Structure 1
């Protein structure tokens, strides 16, 4: 089981370290060949700059292969910019990247004064979690009854799950709490069992 961590820009190394600490095998995806050479069981789309990441993924020939993996049901953990890459709609912006997650997100939703902050909130199935928001988006609205809202902070949706996609506005890779990544590993195991069965 190999987790492909998109490593073209952003906070990918923190995800890699946390997943490795839980015993997962990770491979950094920097070019198309990294996807073709490895049997990828799951994908991490890290925080960073969504516009830059989208541009680089296309230029490096990675966009199509990653989108096909997501559409085929490969589990995905997307944080911050990753959530924007998955979204079907970006509020006030006609740009669509993968468009596999039926939500509308608002980019840089908290503005300059709240550009970065930490807040404790409840995550469904996990409990209280310390959430680090860094120039974070949030989900303005969900567009399918199949989207499960996992967490809201101050009345704003900050974590959702849709089928194989787990998308968060915050950064669970920062700090010591591994429970979000454990949830993701459980999603991967469930996916593997379904394929084997």
Structure 2
């Protein structure tokens, strides 16, 4: 179940990497997505933010909603935190398959609409391995990134087909995904 709580006097320390946080700035709403947030939580939070922006309790007009990935916060977001520490932010960025941290640069916040909520179908949306490591494409389910790999890349990476992989024990799948920075 989704749980939302208003936080006063917020700081960067309130951002938890396995959570999704919403920041209401009156003229816009940011949805910060931690690197370890669950896919269902991301979807529910985006829906909540869109609904909140549409039906603001204070009567203001609908405002835009932006999604931000942990570790890639734009200045338009970080400016609202006292003493934002980029080093803390960089700890949220997951390393690549080679164990290196990807080059981090701030990015623009991604505008979200009701058409954007939900994940891409992994059967019809395929990506290269590099595209799924670190900051991955919008609307890719973060806990199922491996399913978006092209079949030949999947077989080369894991040594089995996606169907065979699906039959693996959860611990084995997780270990393989972690090894290749797809978790």
TM (norm. structure 1) is 0.29
**Larger proportion of strand:** 1
Larger Rg over CA atoms: 2
